[in-house]
Amino acid sequence: MPLITLPDGTTREYQDDVTPAQVAADIGPGLAKAALGARIDGELADLSAPITEDAELALVTAKDREGDPDEDAQYLMRHSCAHVMAEAIEELFPGARLVYGPPVENGFYYDIAFPEGSMISSDDFSRVEEVMKRIIKEDRAFNRYALSCADGLEKLRAEGSKYKIDNAERAIEAGSDELTWYATGTPGTDWEDLCRGPHVPSTGRIGAFKLMSIASSYWHGDERSDRLTRVYGTAFADKKQLKAHLARLEEAQKRDHRVLGRKLQLFTIDEQVGQGLILWKPAGAMVRQLLQNFISEELTRQGYAQVFTPHIGKLDLYRTSGHYPYYQESQYTPIIDRETLAGLAEEGCSCGELANRMDEGEIDGYLLKPMNCPHHIKIYASEQRSYRDLPVRLAEFGTVYRWEQSGEIGGMTRVRGFTQDDAHLFCREDQIADEVQGCLHIVKLIFSTLGMTEYRVRVGLRDPDGTKYVGDPGKWDRAEQACREAAATLGVPFSEEPGEAAFYGPKIDFVVKDVIGREWQLGTIQVDYNLPERFDLEYIGADNQRHRPVMIHRAPFGSMERFIGVLIEHFAGAFPCWLAPEQVRVLPISEKSADYANDLLGMLKDRGIRATVDHGSDRIQAKVKVAADLKIPYLAVVGPRDAEQGSVSVRAFGREQNLGALPLDTFVDSVARESESRGASSLMEHFEEVGT
């Protein structure tokens, strides 16, 4: 006699087993029609799932109670749509074997092994979609049936589907006591798929869908294993939602930093220079410089010392640090001097032999530095250090080079040469907590100044069963606790992830999403017991004994390249006044006002404001349009009327209207104050009455 408790607290009692569909029908025909699935005790389930005992039941409909698209409904619809797509593809591509087709954040995909010589391409999407539409129109029910593990496996073996057998075996290993299938229609005659479910009641309930793209993947994510074709699609409750989603994607594309980087002349990448190597153009370099100045000010305030170190170092340095032996495949190959190379050639030394002899240390060379720490360590080690000197905080906007896989490189977010806002703190163990806090303070300050609130924090802890970690467990416990406590003070979501620590210590990472939903790690703070050991670093303690310092690596924004790439997208290219490469553009109405415009330009430049004049022969409308396209924060329109009154008429980016006139001094002074205060004051304060 199940007692069903609904989300509003009301209850219904049933004499026998009941399904969510029946409950929905009892509540009302509207709900029965709208229901796509159910949450039984919080667990997503089919509408036809039997409820045998007391349960909390919520019916899933396309829209939640706030009227927003319901996430569970989307999950059900997309999962079901993946089945429909798979059926359509199997129909059109005989011999295609299905592997795995889950819903994902913005849609779903299905991994499929296509037979040799029969490959789907995006040109095939429309005919696949036609078949899918037909299947949806047929409105066939999703019918679930279960077999015992043994019977199920036998069935799969009879069908000979290697991938599905694997899925089943893994489900069994994970503790399933049965295997379930979903037939799209009648089991035995209609299409079916081994699947855990749940699904919408029938294909007709899939509102609107679209195939999006094709990609490849590896079976089990293992690059040595079978290569699969992944077809991405998305589904929504109705056409309107789908359309809105596609519009969002289009909008997102407009703020893509690669598009804006070109349009706003921030940076360029030239294939002759090399893949993944950023050329900062003047406008982008200005943004970077302003940001670095901002960070530098805070570093100075926190007692960091800035240093400069070269872009290369001897191979032996990186043998000591361990970077060369352990991360060789992600470094540029070493540089060997001409004479040595000639000598080796004469000996007839093979490439393999050369590599071996470099590994052994018989041949030395130089490495483009993959990290800044060894150089900074040598600065630390260049003086005798007392416990009174600690912490020693060495900071550098240090450029490093890494041989990233070619397929992974793109835009500014994944590059081969980049500048970290790096620093290494050498401290006593009891100072770790305070130092980590200090690092977080910079992160908080800069993210809040930039208005970046959409980031998450990941605390990487050691895997409790792992054996790869250096340093004693007691130290680890204390360092992990310090990281955990520090992260909690940030006031943003953070997750603890065991096994994500570096082998030498725990870390805190900052992760943001780009405009197309990909996550990027920006900054990181890492506690390191290993390098001080490797380089035999020491300080003299109060006890007059030698002690080993602990190192903290921290690059709160990761790299200037990636950070500014993300920042461009964050602002959609419309930098706030203090960061804008061009802060003010003076627009004379005609040549008659050229002198007056130049006078204003002079005043702006005297106050350090980055400004230009558009002396072109365009009409004012065109000048405004051009400047607006460049997302310049303030436009200063000057004509005869202004010259007469000693004023300037102001237009701000993003405002459709001319804001009104200000005396020249007031204008220049306000922009200067806004710029110097990094936005704490604003020129807009003069126009508040107008704006509201």
Partner RNA sequence: GCCACCGUAGCUCAGUGGUAGAGCACACCCUUGGUAAGGGUGAGGUCACGGGUUCAAGUCCCGUCGGUGGCUCCA
Query: Considering only residues 151, 154, 485, 629, which one is a binding residue for RNA as defined by CB under 7 A?
Result: 629
Which C-beta is closer to RNA: that of 63 or that of 230?
Answer: 230
Here's the x/- map for RNA, 363-382, by CB under 7 A: it reads as -------xx-----------
By the 8 A CB rule, do 517 and 105 touch?
A: yes
Which C-beta is closer to RNA: that of 207 or that of 639?
Answer: 639
Whether 270 is catalytic: no
By the 8 A CB rule, do 308 and 376 touch?
A: no
Which C-beta is closer to RNA: that of 201 or that of 284?
Answer: 284
The residues in 190-219 that bind RNA, with binding defined as CB under 7 A, are 213-218
Query: Considering only residues 467, 544, 617, 692, which one is a binding residue for RNA as defined by CB under 7 A?
Result: 617
Which C-beta is closer to RNA: that of 223 or that of 347?
Answer: 223
Give min distance, CB of 184 to RNA, in A: 25
What are the φ and ψ backbone dihedral angles of 58, each rounded to 5 degrees? Answer: -125, 135
Q: Which two tokens stand for residue 384?
A: 């005798």
The piece of 63-71, 286-294, 541-549, 612-620 that touches RNA (CB under 7 A) is 612-620
Query: Considering only residues 540, 628, 630, 684, which one is a binding residue for RNA as defined by CB under 7 A?
Result: 628
Q: What is the DSSP letter of 548?
A: P
Phi-psi region of 678 (alpha: psi -120 to 50; beta: other; left: phi over 0): left
Catalytic residue among 385, 402, 458, 585: 402
Catalytic residue among 74, 420, 431, 526: 420
Give min distance, CB of 465 to RNA, in A: 18
Nearest-CA neighbor of 427 among 459, 365, 380, 478? 380
The piece of 225-233, 385-393, 450-458, 462-470 that touches RNA (CB under 7 A) is 225-233
Which C-beta is closer to RNA: that of 140 or that of 414?
Answer: 414
Whether 420 is catalytic: yes
- Cα Rg, the chain, nearest whole Å: 31
The piece of 145-153, 299-307, 537-545, 641-649 that touches RNA (CB under 7 A) is 641-649
Angle among Cα 496, 434, 396 to the nearest 5 degrees reads 90
Burial bucket for residue 221 (CB in 10 Å: 0-12, 13-18, 19+): exposed
The residues in 326-345 that bind RNA, with binding defined as CB under 7 A, are 326-327, 330-331
**Does residue 640 interact with RNA by CB under 7 A?**
yes
The piece of 2-10, 42-50, 437-445, 653-661 that touches RNA (CB under 7 A) is 653-661
Give min distance, CB of 641 to RNA, in A: 3
* Distance, CA of 95 to CA of 99 (rounded, Å): 13
By the 8 A CB rule, do 643 and 596 touch?
A: yes
> Mind giving me the DSSP string for 633-653?
SEEEEE-HHHHHHTEEEEEET
Number of residues this chain uses to bind RNA (CB under 7 A): 78
The residues in 426-485 that bind RNA, with binding defined as CB under 7 A, are none
Query: Considering only residues 635, 668, 671, 683, which one is a binding residue for RNA as defined by CB under 7 A?
Result: 635
> Do the bridges between strand 366-368 and strand 392-401 make them parallel or antiparallel, or are there none, so unpaired?
unpaired
The residues in 497-526 that bind RNA, with binding defined as CB under 7 A, are 502, 516-518, 526
The residues in 251-280 that bind RNA, with binding defined as CB under 7 A, are 258, 262-263, 269, 271, 274-276
The piece of 82-90, 227-235, 422-430, 470-478 that touches RNA (CB under 7 A) is 227-235
* Distance from chain centroid for Cα 468: 28
Which C-beta is closer to RNA: that of 27 or that of 409?
Answer: 409
Q: What is the DSSP letter of 144?
A: E
> Do the bridges between strand 584-588 and strand 611-613 make them parallel or antiparallel, or are there none, so unpaired?
parallel
Which C-beta is closer to RNA: that of 133 or that of 534?
Answer: 534
Give min distance, CB of 504 to RNA, in A: 8
Burial 276-294 (b: 16+ CB within 10 A, else e): bbbebbebbebbbebbbeb
- Longest distance between any two alpha carbons in the chain, whole Å: 93
Query: Considering only residues 76, 442, 567, 637, which one is a binding residue for RNA as defined by CB under 7 A?
Result: 637
CA distances from 419 to 54, 150, 335 (A): 60, 57, 21
Q: Which two tokens stand for residue 2?
A: 């199940």
Enumerate residues 6+ apart whose C-beta is below 8 A from 320.
Answer: 374, 534, 535
**Does residue 408 interact with RNA by CB under 7 A?**
yes
Catalytic residue among 205, 458, 553, 651: 553
Neighbours of 72 (CB within 10 A): 17
* Distance, CA of 439 to CA of 94 (rounded, Å): 58
Whether 402 is catalytic: yes
Give min distance, CB of 495 to RNA, in A: 16
Give min distance, CB of 331 to RNA, in A: 5
Q: Which two tokens stand for residue 49?
A: 């799932």
Helix (H, G, I), strand (E, B) or coil at 198: coil
Count of alpha carbons within 13 angstroms of residue 64, beta-carbon side: 10
Strand partners, 59: 38
The residues in 99-158 that bind RNA, with binding defined as CB under 7 A, are 119, 121-122
Question: Which residue is associated with the tokens 């080796």?
Answer: 344
Give min distance, CB of 617 to RNA, in A: 4
Type and span of the H or E element at 377: helix 373-381
Query: Considering only residues 248, 641, 677, 680, which one is a binding residue for RNA as defined by CB under 7 A?
Result: 641
Strand partners, 399: 419
Query: Considering only residues 79, 462, 585, 651, which one is a binding residue for RNA as defined by CB under 7 A?
Result: 651
Catalytic residue among 210, 319, 416, 424: 424
The piece of 25-33, 64-72, 228-236, 378-386 that touches RNA (CB under 7 A) is 228-236
**Does residue 94 interact with RNA by CB under 7 A?**
no
Whether 111 is catalytic: no
Which C-beta is closer to RNA: that of 135 or that of 564?
Answer: 564
The residues in 564-603 that bind RNA, with binding defined as CB under 7 A, are 589-592
Whether 507 is catalytic: yes
Strand partners, 547: 539
By the 8 A CB rule, do 557 and 423 touch?
A: no
**Amino acid identity, residue 402?**
R
The residues in 383-402 that bind RNA, with binding defined as CB under 7 A, are 402
**Does residue 404 interact with RNA by CB under 7 A?**
yes
Whether 424 is catalytic: yes
Give min distance, CB of 272 to RNA, in A: 8
Q: Which two tokens stand for residue 267?
A: 């940076």
Whether 220 is catalytic: no
The piece of 2-10, 295-303, 655-663, 683-691 that touches RNA (CB under 7 A) is 655-663
**Amino acid identity, residue 578?**
W
Type and span of the H or E element at 482: helix 473-488
**Does residue 663 interact with RNA by CB under 7 A?**
no
Catalytic residue among 210, 385, 507, 631: 507
Alpha-carbon dihedral of residues 582, 588, 591, 593, nearest 10 degrees? -120
Query: Considering only residues 9, 29, 282, 407, which one is a binding residue for RNA as defined by CB under 7 A?
Result: 407
Query: Considering only residues 8, 66, 656, 688, which one is a binding residue for RNA as defined by CB under 7 A?
Result: 656
Give min distance, CB of 691 to RNA, in A: 15
Which C-beta is closer to RNA: that of 187 or that of 663?
Answer: 663
Strand partners, 524: 509, 555
Nearest-CA neighbor of 590 among 636, 632, 637? 637
Which C-beta is closer to RNA: that of 100 or that of 294?
Answer: 100
Tell me which residues are annotated as active site.
373, 402, 420, 422, 424, 507, 553
